[in-house]
């Protein structure tokens, strides 16, 4: 196959709210070759990732992503690695390129899987996809009562695990956070797996974070996610030394394998959380999963958007039985839930199974694309660099 065409679709909710819900917009990527299409999704800031696909070249290592993708041969896994490396090199000085590459890379795995008639995890070298325990990923409520309610709902929907993050957590008094944590544990029940996401609230302030450790231990939080900004490795390592049974988790901000490796090597984390929509797609996520395994660190996907992004984020560690948890966007926007007809729904035991279908096994619904599609036009000089494409049939 030769890559003939790549289309980008910017979707968004009619109203985007100033809350940490990442499912309010999406950038879909469709790669076409030999009569087939593969689909991927870039995380966040669709317009900027479109620009990094289409922009004029600045110099030899600051080319638009498309320069390294269109017209390329795609016959094998080695071709995906080759295209991936070419984008990383020729767009080295284009910061946003890693996010754009992420969606393109997913689409390449989807496309090659469809052409081969095999799920992407098989192309990645896994014999099988182990089921994962899905955790309902949601925001802390505005008050403990709201969090209690969310936790109960997650449990009643069959989830064995839930994560609470952002909202007011970490931004006010220690007591307020403690009340939130106890509400979450109460709602989840004694045997639920409780995970906590501080949303980088303490920047690099270990002392502030440490004040929450007794409550986190008391509610038996399995991990504390992103107490600090992504790069504050020293703070991560220091808190990890104090946190006992509560393990550190982080990594969603990483846009290269190298960054995830530094976090694993120097941050003392127990869980590395990778968003395939940011790190460079399935290719880089798999590289992280492989390295994590050698370090005794558990890999977890980071996903807060659609079931297409979910599938692409789970494939990279599908075959590693010990990596048993899986982030599940439990309360997405209508856009997040409408996008695909195929839904990846946890079973009665709260376990998630990847679709047993070629590629990523999840296809965007043209009707949903039509419903949420945003009209964009970018002109540079006389040239129309980008115009929102027609809805695919």
Residues that bind a copy of itself (CB under 8 A): 10, 12, 16-22, 24-25, 43-48, 50-52, 54-62, 88-89, 92-96, 98-99, 200, 229-233, 253, 255-259, 261-262, 265-266, 278, 374-381, 385
Please give the Cα distance from 241 to 201 (Å, whole number).
19
Computed over its alpha carbons, how large is the radius of gyration of the chain? 20
Of 100 and 115, CB closest to a copy of itself: 100
Nearest to 227 by CA among 253, 244, 255, 208: 208
Question: Could you tell me the smallest distance in angstroms from the CB atom of residue 251 to a copy of itself?
Answer: 14
Of 57 and 345, CB closest to a copy of itself: 57
Question: Could you tell me the smallest distance in angstroms from the CB atom of residue 204 to a copy of itself?
Answer: 9
- Per DSSP, the three-state class of 343 is coil
Question: Could you tell me the smallest distance in angstroms from the CB atom of residue 275 to a copy of itself?
Answer: 9
- The secondary structure of 84-127, three-state, reads HHHHHHHCCCCCCHHHHHHHHHHHHHHHHHHHHCCEHHHHCCCC
Question: Could you tell me the smallest distance in angstroms from the CB atom of residue 137 to a copy of itself?
Answer: 14
Beta-strand (E) ranges in 232-361? 247-250, 271-274, 298-301, 325-329, 351-352
Q: Are 157 and 330 in contact (CB under 8 A)?
A: yes
Of 57 and 173, CB closest to a copy of itself: 57
Nearest to 354 by CA among 123, 153, 77: 123
Judged by phi (left if over 0) then psi (alpha if -120 to 50, else beta), residue 384 lies in beta
Q: How far apart are the first and last CA of the chain?
A: 21
Question: Could you tell me the smallest distance in angstroms from the CB atom of residue 50 to a copy of itself?
Answer: 8
Question: Could you tell me the smallest distance in angstroms from the CB atom of residue 244 to a copy of itself?
Answer: 26
Question: Could you tell me the smallest distance in angstroms from the CB atom of residue 258 to a copy of itself?
Answer: 3
CA 85 to chain centre: 21
Q: Which two tokens stand for residue 283?
A: 């290719």
DSSP string spanning 169-184? TTTS-HHHHHHHHHHH
Of 10 and 328, CB closest to a copy of itself: 10
Of 32 and 208, CB closest to a copy of itself: 208
Question: Could you tell me the smallest distance in angstroms from the CB atom of residue 383 to a copy of itself?
Answer: 10
Of 322 and 384, CB closest to a copy of itself: 384
Q: Which two tokens stand for residue 71?
A: 């017209």
Of 60 and 218, CB closest to a copy of itself: 60
Burial class (CB in 10 A: 0-12, 13-18, 19+), 269: buried
Q: At what angle do helices 46-54 and 97-116 cross, to 10 degrees?
A: 80
Q: Which two tokens stand for residue 378?
A: 């970018």
Please give the Cα distance from 319 to 50 (Å, whole number).
32
Of 67 and 320, CB closest to a copy of itself: 67
Of 112 and 309, CB closest to a copy of itself: 309
**Residue 201 — φ and ψ, nearest 5°?**
-55, -35
Of 46 and 144, CB closest to a copy of itself: 46
Task: Using alpha carbons, list the distances in angstroms from residue 303 to 78, 210, 314.
Answer: 27, 27, 9
Question: Could you tell me the smallest distance in angstroms from the CB atom of residue 376 to a copy of itself?
Answer: 5
Question: Could you tell me the smallest distance in angstroms from the CB atom of residue 373 to a copy of itself?
Answer: 10
Q: Are 281 and 308 in contact (CB under 8 A)?
A: no
Question: Could you tell me the smallest distance in angstroms from the CB atom of residue 107 to a copy of itself?
Answer: 19
Of 193 and 335, CB closest to a copy of itself: 335
């Amino acid at each position: 196959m030769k890559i003939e065409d790549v289309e980008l679709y910017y979707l968004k909710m009619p109203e985007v709210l100033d809350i940490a819900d990442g499912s309010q917009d999406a950038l879909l990527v469709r790669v076409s070759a030999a009569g087939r299409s593969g689909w991927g999704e870039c995380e966040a800031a669709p317009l900027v990732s479109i620009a990094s696909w289409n922009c004029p070249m600045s110099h030899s290592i600051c080319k638009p992503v498309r320069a390294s993708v269109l017209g390329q041969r795609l016959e094998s896994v080695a071709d995906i690695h080759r295209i991936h490396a070419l984008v990383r090199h020729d767009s080295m000085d284009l910061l946003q390129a890693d996010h754009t590459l992420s969606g393109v890379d997913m689409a390449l795995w989807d496309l090659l899987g469809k052409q081969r008639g095999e799920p992407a995890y098989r192309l990645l070298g896994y014999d099988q996809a182990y089921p994962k325990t899905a955790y309902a990923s949601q925001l802390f409520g505005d008050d403990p009562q709201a969090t209690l309610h969310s936790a109960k709902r997650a449990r009643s929907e069959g989830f064995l695990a839930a994560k609470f993050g952002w909202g007011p957590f970490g931004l006010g008094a220690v007591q307020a956070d403690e009340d939130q944590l106890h509400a979450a544990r109460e709602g989840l029940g004694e045997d639920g797996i409780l995970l906590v996401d501080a949303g980088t609230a303490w920047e690099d302030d270990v002392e502030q974070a440490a004040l929450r450790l007794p409550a986190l231990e008391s509610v038996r939080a399995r991990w504390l996610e992103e107490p600090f900004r992504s790069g504050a490795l020293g703070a991560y390592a220091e808190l990890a030394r104090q946190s006992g049974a509560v393990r550190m988790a982080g990594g969603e901000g990483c846009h290269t394998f190298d960054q995830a490796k530094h976090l694993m090597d120097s941050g003392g984390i127990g869980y590395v959380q990778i968003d395939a929509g940011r790190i460079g797609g399935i290719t880089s996520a798999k590289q992280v999963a492989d390295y994590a395994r050698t370090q005794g660190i558990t890999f977890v996907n980071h996903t807060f958007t659609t079931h297409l992004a979910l599938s692409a984020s789970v494939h990279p560690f599908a075959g590693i039985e010990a990596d048993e948890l899986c982030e599940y966007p439990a309360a997405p926007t209508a856009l997040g839930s409408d996008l695909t007809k195929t839904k990846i729904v946890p079973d009665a035991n709260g376990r998630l199974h990847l679709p047993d279908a070629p590629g990523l096994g999840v296809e965007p619904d043209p009707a949903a694309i039509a419903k949420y599609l945003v009209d964009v036009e970018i002109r540079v000089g006389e040239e129309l660099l980008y115009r929102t494409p027609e809805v695919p049939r």
